[in-house]
Structure 1
Amino acid sequence: MAHIPINHPLRPFWRAVSGLCGVFILAFGIMGVMASAGEEFFSRESIWALWLKTNMAFSLLSILLGAILVAGYVIGGDISHWINYYGSWVLLAGGLAGIAVMRTDLNILNWSMVNAIVSLVLGTLILTAGLYDKAGPPEPARPKGALRPGPATPAKG
């Protein structure tokens, strides 16, 4: 964690990217709940929302994760950094786990390869946001090259 930049100039951009990812996940979850209403909780039927396969269980998990990411965007600061950093690992691990169980009876979240790819892409974007949106106290402006070693200037006198 020592190499994570603090107050990076692109911090607002990456914070907005994570917020948009959270909005997408939240919207997918809400549309998934509407699309899977009346089906079994762990249905394996062909239910689609925002171009992704879903069921009620996956839709509710998406609403939870999307709401957490959007809340992190709204709160900001280091809380947003930690939510993005650790939330991204959930998406990355979920994408890999989805690939592992896709054609088995363990695919209880009704994933397809598109779901796994979207999860890995969103996880990568949110991880990048988590790495670049760490906040800290403002640093005093230093002149360029103030910390660079250079030739000693001769004393005047």
Structure 2
Amino acid sequence: MPHLPVNHPARPVYRALSALIGLYILVFGVWGTALTWGEPLFGRGSNWALGLRTNLAFSLVSIAFGIVLIVGASRRNNLGHYMNLTAGVVFLATSILMMSVLQTDANFLNFSMSTVVVSMLFGLILLGTGLYDKVGAPEDAEAERNRRYHPVAEIHRRS
């Protein structure tokens, strides 16, 4: 069983952080859509929004992801927890995939190296926030704390 903290005291900070990332992604998507409207969906032009290269497809996907992250951060249940974990993995996988095809015609989202770095950073932050924003009943939180601070766990922690 994983030992993810339940009802972590800094959970509001993690939710705010994921909401800020969602807001940035949403604004980037809206701005990028306004810049690339009328161009091909998977165009490889030199359109930049908020420091990241984009095309219409990437901008539209960013709008959807931004909304999903903001909705997840606004919920007080485990929906945000699962959304952040999933979004973190998606951002990391996408950044690695797009980095591998950066200088080829397969770069259909028109990534640049700065886009890869920001996507990887957002993925790591969202994965981290997802690990610490789990919600549960007070009994669940107490049981998780007892497992973490059990004397057997203390012996393993010292060695």
Give the TM-score band, short-chain normalised.
0.7 to 0.9
| Rg comparison, structure with higher value | 1
Counterparts of 1:87 and 1:11, CA distance in 2? 17
Q: What displacement does 1:70 show?
A: 0.6
Counterparts of 1:76 and 1:83, CA distance in 2? 12
Counterparts of 1:76 and 1:117, CA distance in 2? 30
- Structure 2: unaligned runs, 5 residues or longer: 143-148, 153-159
Confirm whether residue 99 of structure 1 aligns to residue 99 of structure 2. yes
Match for 2:52: what amino acid?
Answer: L
CA RMSD of aligned residues (A): 2.0
Confirm whether residue 15 of structure 1 aligns to residue 15 of structure 2. yes
Question: Stretches of 4+ moved more than 6 A in 1?
Answer: none
Q: What displacement does 1:148 show?
A: 4.9
Q: What displacement does 1:76 show?
A: 2.9
Q: Say how many residue pairs are matched.
A: 147
Q: What displacement does 1:98 show?
A: 1.1
Q: What displacement does 1:77 show?
A: 1.5
Q: 1 or 2, which has the higher helix percentage?
A: 2
* 1:128 alignment counterpart: 128
Counterparts of 1:110 and 1:68, CA distance in 2? 22
- Residues 147 and 44 of structure 1, relative CA distance in 2, 3 Å threshold: closer
Instruction: String of CA shifts for 1:63-88, please: whole Å, max 9, x gaps.
Output: 11111111101123100000001111
* 1:37 alignment counterpart: 37
Match for 1:121: what amino acid?
Answer: L
- Structure 1: unaligned runs, 5 residues or longer: 150-157
* 2:138 alignment counterpart: 138
1:44-123 → structure 2 map (5 Å cutoff): 44-123=44-123
Match for 1:93: what amino acid?
Answer: A
Counterparts of 2:123 and 2:99, CA distance in 1? 15
Quick one: percent identity of the two aligned structures?
Answer: 43
Counterparts of 2:18 and 2:67, CA distance in 1? 12
**TM-score calculated relative to the size of structure 1:** 0.87
Instruction: String of CA shifts for 1:79-104, please: whole Å, max 9, x gaps.
Output: 00000011110000011011001000
